[in-house]
C-alpha cells in the first residue's frame, strides 16, 4: 500500500452555448476535509471546461497523492487513459493525422497526472451521485462567478 495521501476528486464542466461562457468545478476530499474549486471563461467549450476541472483539481494538490478522480466526461477519461499514448507517439496527431483538439489542455493534464497516481473513474452525469452533483453545481457557479479562488 502506498504511503501517499488518498484524495477523492469529482470534476465537471459546464457551458452556456458551445462555444460560449463556461465554467468548471471540482470537489476534493481528503478524509473528512472537503475543498470546492470553481472558475470559468467567457468564450470556451464544454470539453475545455471538463479538462480544466481535472487540471485545476490536480494542480491544487501540493504533493504527490493517490487520486481517485471521478468525471462524467468520457472525453476526459478516454482521452487520458486510451487516446493520449497514441497522440504522444504521433506528435499530438489523431489517427487521421489531424492535430489533437485542445492540445494545450491535454498537455497540462498529462503533466499534472504524471505527478500523482491517478485512477480515472467515469460516473454517469445527472444521475444522483452526490459528488458529481456537487461538481456540477460548482461548474455552473463558475459560469456566473468565473474567478473566485484564482
- The answer to whether 50 is a known catalytic residue is yes
- The answer to whether 126 is a known catalytic residue is yes
- The answer to whether 68 is a known catalytic residue is no
The alpha-carbon radius of gyration of the chain (Å, integer) is: 15
Catalytic: which of 12, 23, 40, 70?
12
Catalytic: which of 39, 40, 50, 142?
50
- The answer to whether 110 is a known catalytic residue is no
Catalytic: which of 13, 23, 25, 79?
13
Q: How far apart are CA 149 and CA 99, in angstroms?
A: 32
- The answer to whether 72 is a known catalytic residue is yes
Cis peptide before 134 (omega within 30 of 0): no
- The answer to whether 136 is a known catalytic residue is yes
Catalytic: which of 41, 70, 72, 79?
72
Catalytic: which of 17, 43, 119, 126?
126
Residue in 73, 67, 147 with CA at minimum distance from that of residue 112: 67
Q: How far apart are CA 108 and CA 104, in angstroms?
A: 6
* CA-based torsion, 37, 42, 48, 49: positive or negative: positive
Q: Which residues are catalytic?
A: 12-13, 50, 72, 126, 136
Amino acid at each position: 500500500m502506498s504511503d501517499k495521501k488518498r484524495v477523492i476528486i469529482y470534476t465537471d464542466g459546464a457551458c452556456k452555448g458551445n462555444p460560449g461562457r463556461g465554467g468548471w468545478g471540482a470537489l476534493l476530499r481528503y478524509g473528512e476535509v472537503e475543498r470546492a474549486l470553481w472558475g470559468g471563461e467567457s468564450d470556451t467549450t464544454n470539453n475545455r471546461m471538463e479538462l480544466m476541472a481535472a487540471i485545476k483539481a490536480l494542480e491544487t494538490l501540493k504533493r504527490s497523492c493517490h487520486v481517485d478522480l471521478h468525471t462524467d466526461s468520457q472525453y476526459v477519461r478516454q482521452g487520458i487513459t486510451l487516446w493520449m499514448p497514441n497522440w504522444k507517439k504521433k506528435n499530438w496527431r489523431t489517427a487521421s493525422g489531424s492535430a489533437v483538439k485542445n492540445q494545450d489542455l491535454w498537455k497540462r493534464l498529462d503533466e499534472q497526472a504524471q505527478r500523482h497516481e491517478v485512477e480515472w473513474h467515469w460516473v454517469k452525469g445527472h444521475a444522483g451521485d452526490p459528488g458529481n452533483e456537487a461538481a456540477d453545481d460548482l461548474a455552473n457557479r463558475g459560469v456566473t462567478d468565473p474567478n473566485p479562488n484564482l
